[in-house]
Structure 1
Amino acid sequence: MAAERLGAQRRRRPTRSGTVLSHDVIVATAIRLIDLHGADGLSVRRLGTALGADPSALYRYFKGTDDLVRAVADELIGRALTGFVPGEEWRAALTEMGRRVYAACLARPRTAVLTAARVTGRAHEIGTVEVGLGILRRAGFGDDEAARNYHAFIDLTLGYAMLDAAAVAGSADTRAWAEVYAELPAATHPNIAACAAELERSMSGSAYAVAQGFFLDGLTLELERGKK
């Protein structure tokens, strides 16, 4: 017991910068570094420097950087759904849930690109899966259908989040819609020329809301067929 207390006291000592190390402090610092430097920011040495601590101290809290990435991913999920209470109407609840997750990713685009595809197996992700399945089961989907549809729902949301976060994080490819496609002549590309203005406007933004609407329409039809 004395050894355990001594270990705990050591872990609570301030670092050289005056910061008291903890799981949450390390995760918050990792997110800040990824925001600034992308994936390259997430190194044990750089984290140690930012925290004013010996890099080896991080291994008291995480097995390695991969474990830390999962913790960062779980933190983003937790931030996205803080205060979220699904209402009775399943479609509105899924819409809000998806938009919250998407918005949280876009608020931290470099972090989202690094973490959105990860399965964390941690508290916030577990809570999110529980809530999502609950919405679908209360809507009337069977257990197999709820699992399948939750998979499609979260992959749709995170897939668009990663795609759009990558664009926000620095892609200049969208300029092609104005610089290349808008200049194509109707004689050779009549369909593109006819849709050029709308194509530029649409492709320069996100299609997530449209795709989410189509997906929810499909779930609505599935429920209606099941009632016949």
Structure 2
Amino acid sequence: MAKRVVPETARRRRRPTKQGQVLTHGLIVETALRMLHEHGAAGLSARRLGLALGADASTIYRYFRGMDDLVLAIADELFGHAVNRFEPTGDWRGDLRELGLRIHHAYLAHPQAALLTASRVTGRPNEVAGDEMILGILRGAGFGDEDAVRIYHAFIDQSLAFSILDAATLALPPAAREADEEVWRDTYARLPATTHPHIAATAPLLVARMNDSAYPTALDMLLSSAEDQLTRSSGAVGQLARPPARRGEAGIRVGTPACRKDI
């Protein structure tokens, strides 16, 4: 059974922990992030967290309903790192690109935490504020609500999916990561053109690119597609809003077969 969460005003301990610190929600999340970085998800437990904080493990449950509640708090903290102090400039494409790169960077700064949290939906303040901002950017650019939601969906899922993919690489042991990176040079770059003509032709480019994240490229492709759609939609709306041209006005030449009346 989940334990009762003590209100914020009643959460402070009357005395510091063994490390001389007063427990707070933020301190617990910060310590949990550090433990994930050092030990991975398997190393995060209430007992170990209590030891790291110099407090009894049961103290954690005065701040969180359980360990999953703590995971959601970590997820919202990472999202907060991405949106903190970000202010839209009015350039919708530039703003979304900057925000996408911020989200990706925030998760990659904590790869073990990213693997644990990037697939979660928290409904917490930082996540909600970020979603409101993204939808506001899209609607402000002129996208209709249906298109705004569709592009938002693709944008946020793309950023989180690449965060998980790239975080998984960073979370590998160094030897395994280096071995994976060397495959492009030691295997792909040596395949003969007689059996693998397309790989052989592009081998230098593959070696140069494939160990870097494809997220910036994928993000640009998504935004280009959205921009093209907005341009087409704006053109179509302009055509519908334009009043019919009269004979002799620009747009239809007088005397063309389309407007000439046979006698």
User: TM-score with structure 2 length normalisation?
Assistant: 0.81
Q: In the alignment, what sits opposite 2:127?
A: 125
Q: In the alignment, what sits opposite 1:222?
A: 229
Alpha-carbon distance in structure 2 between the residues aligned to 1:80 and 1:200: 31
- After superposition, where does 1:43-58 map in structure 2 within 5 Å? 43-58=45-60
Gaps of 5+ in 1: none
Gaps of 5+ in 2: 1-5, 237-263
68-77 or 159-168: bigger deviation: 159-168
Alpha-carbon distance in structure 2 between the residues aligned to 1:65 and 1:86: 35
Alpha-carbon distance in structure 2 between the residues aligned to 1:42 and 1:140: 45
Q: Rg: which structure is higher? A: 2
- After superposition, where does 1:79-90 map in structure 2 within 5 Å? 79-90=81-92
Name the SS for the 1:11 alignment partner.
coil
Residues 12/210 of structure 1: CA separation in 2 closer, same or farther (3 Å cut): farther
The answer to whether the aligner puts 1:38 opposite 2:40 as a matched pair is: yes
Q: Deviations over 1:72-114 (max 9, x none)?
A: 0100111111110011110011011101111111111111111
Q: Is contact 1:45–1:55 with CA below 8 Å preserved after alignment? A: yes
User: TM-score with structure 1 length normalisation?
Assistant: 0.93
Q: Which amino acid is the alignment partner of residue 118 of structure 1?
A: R
The alignment-based identity, stated in percent, is 53
Alpha-carbon distance in structure 1 between the residues aligned to 2:142 and 2:82: 26
The offset of 1:10, in angstroms, is 6.2
164-173 or 86-95: bigger deviation: 164-173
The answer to whether the aligner puts 1:109 opposite 2:122 as a matched pair is: no
Moved over 4 A (4+): none
Q: Is contact 1:12–1:21 with CA below 8 Å preserved after alignment? A: no
168-177 or 74-83: bigger deviation: 168-177
Q: In the alignment, what sits opposite 2:162?
A: 160
Q: Please report the RMSD computed on the Cα atoms of aligned residues, expressed in angstroms.
A: 1.7
Name the SS for the 1:85 alignment partner.
coil
Name the SS for the 1:92 alignment partner.
helix
